Amino acid sequence: MDKYDSLERIVPDRVDDADQAGSESLLLHQERYRFAAEHARSGRLLDLACGVGYGTRLLADARDDIEGFLGVDVARTAVEYAQRVYSDERVRYVQADAMSFGEDGASSFDTIVSLETIEHLPEPEVFFERLCRLLKPGGVLIASVPTTPSVDLNPHHLHDFTLRSFRRLGERAGLAELASHQQIQRVGLAELWSRDRRFRREQLRPNLVGYYASHPGAFVRRIATTLRHGLANHYRTIVWRAEG
């Protein structure tokens, strides 16, 4: 596996058509980016934790009125791929850690997009505050997280969010919620182990039984969520506006 495939980075031209789960995940990500494109402001746009850059380019192709797009990712190979495949005169990519980007006095942005990032970071509140500091007054922040438990199944996720706890990040920062977009990804139990669900199986935490034995609360949350929602992952993308 290449380095830019880690941490769930999706590479569109490497998603096998026979891999149903990989294709579904790509479509969900693209749908989030299209939603973000609808709500982005004119000016400068930052896509923080952009992966291999396909989403940044999708935003650029959808919005001719935005003057510049900057994609930032911590993985050098992901940024090199983005520079080769998805850059143009309005779109550029740089390598930087999301938790330190902007410390060198980087200019503020009219729109900041960071999708499926916050749950990966050890200090989500600190990261959210950093996003707000990089946002111009009156600017728009667009972010997404899973809103059903995911830490138990996905070893790359460090935090679980509910819709309420996700919205609270914006409330505490003094942001006004403008719009939100829900996505539901349903999975049948038999499908999970079928050949065309390889992507999903590869993302599962190894020794899940052992994890539940040492984290009984996570097992209780999984049972409660399954009883309420069935075998389904819920995601929420929210658009916030800063004061000014």
pLDDT tens string for the chain (244 positions)? 344 344 467 888 887 776 677 788 889 999 999 999 999 999 999 999 999 999 999 999 999 999 999 999 999 999 999 999 999 999 999 999 998 898 665 668 999 999 999 999 999 999 999 999 999 999 999 999 999 999 998 888 999 999 999 999 999 999 999 999 999 998 765 555 554 455 455 567 888 889 899 999 999 999 999 998 888 999 999 999 999 7
Write down all domains in the chain, each with its CATH number in brackets: 3-148+158-185+234-241 (3.40.50.150)
Contact residues for 13 (Cβ-Cβ < 8 A; gap 6+):
none
Q: In degrees, to the nearest 5, what angle opens at C-alpha 33 toward C-alphas 118 and 14?
A: 90
User: What pLDDT is attached to residue 23?
Assistant: 83
Closest CA to 203 of 159, 156, 235, 158: 156
* 169-205 pLDDT per residue, tens: 999 999 999 999 999 998 765 555 554 455 455 567 8
In a 10 Å sphere around its CB, with 0-12 CB exposed, 13-18 middle and 19+ buried, how is residue 7 labelled? middle
Closest CA to 9 of 54, 51, 49: 51
User: What pLDDT is attached to residue 199?
Assistant: 45
